[in-house]
A = this chain, B = another copy of it.
Amino acid sequence: MTSGSPRPVTLSDVAAVAGVSLSTASKALNGSTRISATTRARIEDAARRLDFRPNALAQSFASGRSHTVGVLAHRATSTFSHPVLIGAVLRLGARERAALVYDGDRLDRNRVGESVRQLSARRIDGVLIVGDGHEQRTRSLTADFHAPVVYAYTATDDPDDLCFLPDNLDAGVLATRHLVGLGRTRIAHITAMYESIAVRRRETGFQQVLASSGLTQVGPTRHGSWTEEWGARAIGDLLAEHPDVEAIFCGNDHIAFGVLGVLERRGIRVPDDIALVGVDNWEGVILDQGTRRLTSIDLHLSEIGGRSVDALLDGVMLTGPQYQAPSVVVGATTGC
């Protein structure tokens, strides 16, 4: 668009045009208060006329601040960490920070040192560690870096680390409240393996709401895996033992789809006979268009990435786990 590219406009050019010294120009443009209003106006005007763009490389070098953040994507191959990672890099971009993203293998015990050196050579402003959910704690890496460290989508073994996490407890609470709010009283829970922290927290939320509503869970919680197959199998058993069940909180959307398929095949009406709620807002993730079938809890994973970045850049003095509030997304599987 611009014709050719002659010498870029420097701060010295601005100073010369404004008739002030280089240092005065610098101060005026960097918002120092110890500048007269008229001088500042003159300098800002000159900068505008010349379309001055400070050379970010020179600024970084002189100030020692790189405007770059290191992002360690620990076990970030999982689909669920993708929104977190993307939420993080987009927020970084929106705040004019570059991301130096390293893949998980850099976090092996023996290779962390290499990442640390690379990042400190870059004079990184901070480090964001992106995990793969709440399944497992990450070893704290905070002490390895000289820059501030924030964790997204994983907890660590150090209770002082600032970690942004989905609120799985509240996910269980919201899902169950939604079903109770529809007037259902005979509610069951089908979910994944008991070993998962996320599973247990969702279940706890479920049981808290039942208790405070004076309801009793229909049958024991059925633990299996995060798959459609498991959902299909579990609903068969559940119906055999408790044909009067009115609603099911499913640990995630895959399980819910497995349940839904079986119910449809057996001619059981959803939500008229049995209402369903899942977790993940999977349809929201994969569908741009189309009608939503499942009611689900959205954990707002990309917002977890975004908030982690904000905390890192704003130097907030929080410590410990921070939970992202989930929300209900209503589909056709829960009725009035």
Contacts and interface: CB of A to CB of B under 8 A. Distances in A.
A290 B258 CA distance: 15
A53 B101 contact: no
A320 interface: no
A9 B86 CA distance: 35
Contacts of A94: 102-103
B89 A101 contact: yes
A5 B146 contact: yes
A68 interface: yes
Contact of A288 (B78, B261, B288): B78
Contacts of A100: 92-93, 96-99
Interface string A70-83: 01010011110011
A305 to B, nearest CB: 12
B61 A120 contact: no
B99 A101 contact: yes
A196 interface: no
A54 B61 CA distance: 13
B285 A122 contact: no
Nearest to A132: B288
Contacts of A102: 93-94
A60 interface: yes
A121 interface: yes
Contact of A64 (B57, B66, B117, B118): B57
Interface in A46-61: 53-58, 60-61
A123 B57 contact: yes
Contacts of A76: 86
A102 B83 CA distance: 15
A144 B60 contact: no
A134 to B, nearest CB: 15
Contacts of A225: 290
A113 B82 CA distance: 29
Nearest to A8: B120
Q: Which of A83, A99, A117 counts the most B-chain CB atoms under 10 A from its CB? A: A99
B61 A90 contact: no
Given A86-B85, A99-B101, A53 B92 contact: no
12 contacts: A54-B121, A55-B123, A56-B122, A56-B123, A57-B61, A79-B286, A85-B89, A86-B86, A93-B100, A96-B118, A99-B99, A99-B100
Interface of A: 1, 5, 53-58, 60-61, 64, 66, 68, 71, 73, 76-79, 82-83, 85-86, 89-90, 92-94, 96-103, 113, 116-118, 120-123, 143-144, 146, 225, 227, 229, 254, 261, 265, 285-288, 290
